[in-house]
């Protein structure tokens, strides 16, 4: 039936939070994909092996974008001087 998860304070038994279907899917799509917050990935060696190539790839793509934009801007300047 209902797949709502309840999170209780272990000392007081007070309801701290709950996660129903839509909030669980938001957690997976937003936090999981945008922050790479998945169950086993938060252990340190695995996290480093995954994050370092991803960050290097993002830096490479950003650098290529700057380079391509710079070339395009300077090419337009050269054409307009003629």
The total domain count for the chain is 2
Strand partners, 5: 19
Which pLDDT value is given to residue 82?
A: 63
Terminal-residue alpha carbon distance, the chain:
73
37's tokens = 């917050």
Which pLDDT value is given to residue 9?
A: 94
> 6-22: per-residue pLDDT in tens?
889 999 999 998 888 88
pLDDT mean over 21-31: 80
Which pLDDT value is given to residue 57?
A: 97
Which pLDDT value is given to residue 20?
A: 86
Which pLDDT value is given to residue 67?
A: 98
Determine the structural domain holding residue 73 and report its residue range. Answer: 42-82
Q: Are residues 46 and 30 in the same domain?
A: no
Residue 5's H or E segment, with its range, is strand 5-8
Q: Are residues 49 and 72 in the same domain?
A: yes
């Amino acid at each position: 039936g209902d797949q709502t998860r309840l999170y209780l304070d272990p000392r007081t038994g007070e309801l701290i939070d709950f996660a129903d279907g839509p909030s669980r899917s938001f957690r997976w799509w937003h936090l999981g994909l945008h922050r790479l917050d998945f169950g086993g990935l938060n252990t340190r060696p695995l996290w480093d092996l995954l994050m370092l190539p991803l960050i290097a790839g993002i830096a490479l793509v950003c650098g290529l974008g700057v380079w391509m934009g710079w070339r395009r801007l300077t090419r337009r300047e050269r054409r307009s001087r003629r």
